[in-house]
Structure formats: structure tokens, C-alpha cells
Chains A and B, each alone.
Chain A
Amino acid sequence: MKITIRPQDTTASILQRVQEQCPMVGRHEERFIDCCTIIDEFHANMREHVAPKCHDFEWHLSVTCSDRGITLVFQYHGPCFDPTQSPDIEPQPIELRRIGGLGLAIISQLSDSMDYVYENGLNTLTIDLQVTGGTKEDPTCH
């Protein structure tokens, strides 16, 4: 089920609706904490960068949960922006980041996979958080 979110909604109210509509998320406590951070980052980006001062703007969130993990689907109408291709998702110290880039880095690092599609003006970002997975391994360690 899709949750419709407006800029004036608080993150707390969004998370409450997520828990009401998908009570199973609570079973994966640690991953749900990551979901809370990801949802807040996305919501902040919508409010500050995609639709600043635009109270009529809406974006949509779908949450599905299984034994294997949690899937978040974020959707909004607007110009094409593929966060999976943004240089902001690369690891770098906080003081070197551009404003707005930190949230994308956190979303990317907390998720196990990110998939982006742009179709008919609709941005769709699908994020998977696996129960057995944690943050991504640093590729420089290999």
C-alpha cells in the first residue's frame, strides 16, 4: 500500500504510518532503524531540494517486508534525478561534501541495493535492506 506524503508531514508521522501499514517492519529492528534514517533523508531532500516551499507537492512511499528484509519504494513526479549515479554517494569526509550530498551518501551506504527508474515523469527509487546484510563493504579492503 502506498503512503502519500506532503512536505509539511513530520518524519515521525511518516514512520508511524509505515508501522501501522506494515507492522512486520518491527521484526527487523536493526534494519528498521536504517529505514527510519533513509526515510528521513529522502523526506528532507524532497522538502529542501525537489519541492522547497511547495506545500501541494506529494511523494509516495511503499514498504514491503518479508523474512529476507525490507523494501522501500520512493516515487515522485519531477525532473529526472538518478541518485545511484550521483558522485555524492562515494565515501568522503563530511567537510568535503556539498550541501545535500550527505543524505544521499547515507541512503546509499545503509541500503543493500538501490534501483532507479524514470518513466513518464515519475522518479522511482527502490531500496532493499536485507536482514542478513549490514552496510556495504568498503571495496578498498579487497
Chain B
Amino acid sequence: MSLKIVEKHISEETVGVELQGALDSDTAPDLEHWLESAVTPDTRVVAFNMAGVTFISSAGLRVIFKTLKQMKARGGQVSVSQMSRGVRKVFEIVKVMPDLTVFASQAEMDDYLEAIQKREQD
């Protein structure tokens, strides 16, 4: 069960990524490398769509947490949408949820990102 990483280009300041598969100790380094090239000095928001994530372990959480720290350091944020119950459970265990912007659906996340884009343009 590999991890498929699909980039959703949103704007100069926002990187969107759709994940499909397992985010585990084998696949987390792939996401980390992908983010290293996708996140630029201008990036302020990283939006993860987790609808296709079958399960997550601490290796995957660390990549998301590292991204969160990086974005927070530059006044940005990380958002996560469409977590399954199993994935959400792991996020809740490590008590990282309060720092993340969490959306139940892609539509909610799209509205939020649209608002950010609008703010960038203004």
C-alpha cells in the first residue's frame, strides 16, 4: 500500500496536496521529500486532503507536525480535511489538533482557501 501524492496547485502562498494510501514509516519520507520541493519561501499555507489516507502512524504525523512548525514560524498555517475516524483518532492521541485548521469536507477547505486567496489579492 504505497502513498500517492497529488499536488493541487492553489496559489503562490498555498500548497494543496491530496494524499491516497498509507502514511506510515515507509511512505512518510516520500511526503517529506515532496514537501521539501513543493514548499517555497513564499508558502504560508499547506492544505492536506486526507480523504484517501487509509491509516497514519507517528512517522506521518511527524511530517505534518514538522510542516506545521515551519508554517507557524512564518505566520502561516496547516489545514487538514476529510480525515477518516481512524486517522482522526491518531491525531487526537498526540494532541496536535488544536494547532491545525481542520475541515470536515473538501468544500469547507475550498471556501477557506478561497478566502485566503482573496486576501492575498487584496
Residue ranges of A at the interface with B (Cβ–Cβ < 8 Å)? 10-12, 15, 30, 33-34, 36-37, 40-41, 43-44, 47, 91-95, 102-103, 105-106, 109-110, 134-135
Contacts and interface: CB of A to CB of B under 8 A. Distances in A.
Given A34-B86, A37-B90, A94 B95 contact: yes
Interface residues of B, number: 25
B58 A41 contact: yes
B25 A40 contact: yes
A30 B84 CA distance: 10
Given A11-B1, A33-B55, A40-B57, 10 more contacts: A12-B24, A12-B26, A33-B84, A33-B86, A36-B24, A40-B25, A43-B25, A94-B96, A109-B93, A110-B93
A40 B59 contact: yes
A91 B58 contact: no
Q: Chain A's interface: helix, strand, loop or mixed, by majority?
A: helix
Interface string B40-65: 00000000000000111111011001
B69 to A, nearest CB: 8
B74 interface: no
B73 interface: no
Contacts, number: 77
A105 to B, nearest CB: 7
B94 A105 contact: yes
B1 A44 contact: no
Given A94-B96, A106-B93, A44 B25 contact: yes
Nearest to A136: B93
B54 A106 contact: no
7 contacts: A12-B2, A30-B85, A36-B22, A36-B55, A40-B24, A91-B93, A102-B58
B8 interface: no
